[in-house]
């Protein structure tokens, strides 16, 4: 796909999220999202897998920690939607599947064929490096599948990546669970994309090893 066409597809949701952010009080956003807001610079600082992103208020533009404009539109939109939608609900430590998210059934076929397939395909072939990265980002190992880690996504949100390595009879497989408070921060349409941005961030660190 032409890069300009793909970028233009994101312009409408990105501009909508920026408009919504502008209408909200930044201090209320900070309290509900658990994201720091600096009143002097009028900027939010979001930690995302060990990297810091700066969100300007009220423009809603997003920069990388090196001061360059973030070009990952999917991630920028999700960060703004997180800030705008946050309801201040803490982690419940009760985990749900994508299907259990309201509206999740609509997007599940795509979620299964794209996200879950990608998760198992990428990381079951890089287990040692994957383990090292997950430990480095502070993920918590949990007893699920053959290998599973619980980790923070953004602010008050958390998810679990579960891997089954596969054998002679069964191919590698995976699942993703979300803390049940996720519905107070993202809708099903967002959550169809959220894990992909997490996979990208983790894979980037794996490839640097």
Q: Summarize pLDDT for 28-55 with one digit per residue, the tens.
A: 999 999 999 999 999 999 999 999 999 9
* CATH level 3 topology of 95-208: TATA-Binding Protein (3.30.310)
Burial class (CB in 10 A: 0-12, 13-18, 19+), 23: exposed
Closest CA to 110 of 186, 182, 195, 3: 195
DSSP-derived letter for residue 54 is E
Give the chain's count of helices (H) and strands (E). Answer: 8, 9
Looking at residue 3, its pLDDT comes to: 45
* pLDDT (0 to 100) of residue 8: 56
Domain map of the chain by residue range? 3-85, 95-208
Q: Going by C-beta distance under 8 Å and a sequence separation of 6 or more, which residues neighbour residue 9? A: none
pLDDT score of 84: 97
Cα–Cα distances in angstroms (integers) from residue 140 to residues 131, 132, 208, in the given order: 11, 12, 21
Question: CA–CA separation, 126 vs 117, rounded Å?
Answer: 15
pTM above 0.85, yes or no: yes
What are the DSSP calls for 69-130, one per residue?
A: BP--HHHHHHHHHHHHH---PPP-S-EEEGGGSTTHHHHHHHIIIIIIHHHHHHHTTSHHHH
Measured between alpha carbons, how far is 161 from 149 in angstroms, rounded to an integer? 6
Q: What is the pLDDT at residue 1? A: 40
DSSP state of 15: H
CB proximity list for 93: less than 8 A, separation 6 or greater: 179
- β-pairing, 140-142 vs 95-97, is unpaired
Give the model's pLDDT for residue 167. Answer: 86
- The list of the chain residues with pLDDT below 50 reads 1-5
């Amino acid at each position: 796909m032409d890069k300009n066409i793909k970028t233009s597809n994101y312009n409408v949701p990105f501009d909508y999220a920026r408009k919504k952010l502008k209408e909200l009080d930044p201090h209320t956003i900070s309290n509900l999202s658990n994201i720091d807001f600096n009143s002097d610079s009028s900027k939010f600082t979001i930690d995302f897998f060990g990297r810091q992103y700066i969100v300007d208020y009220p423009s809603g533009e997003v920069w990388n920690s090196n001061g360059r404009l973030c070009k990952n539109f999917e991630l920028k939109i999700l960060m703004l939607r997180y800030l705008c939608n946050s309801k201040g609900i803490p982690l419940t430590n009760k985990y749900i599947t994508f299907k259990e998210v309201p509206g999740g059934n609509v997007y599940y076929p795509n979620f299964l064929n794209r996200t879950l397939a990608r998760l198992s395909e990428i990381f079951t072939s890089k287990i040692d490096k994957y383990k090292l990265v997950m430990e480095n980002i502070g993920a918590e190992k949990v007893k699920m599948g053959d290998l599973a880690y619980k980790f923070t996504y953004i602010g008050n949100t958390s998810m679990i990546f579960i891997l089954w390595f596969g054998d002679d009879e069964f191919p590698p497989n995976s699942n993703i669970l979300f803390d049940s408070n996720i519905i107070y921060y993202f809708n099903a349409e967002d959550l169809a994309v959220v894990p992909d941005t997490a996979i990208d961030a983790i894979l980037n660190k794996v490839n640097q090893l």
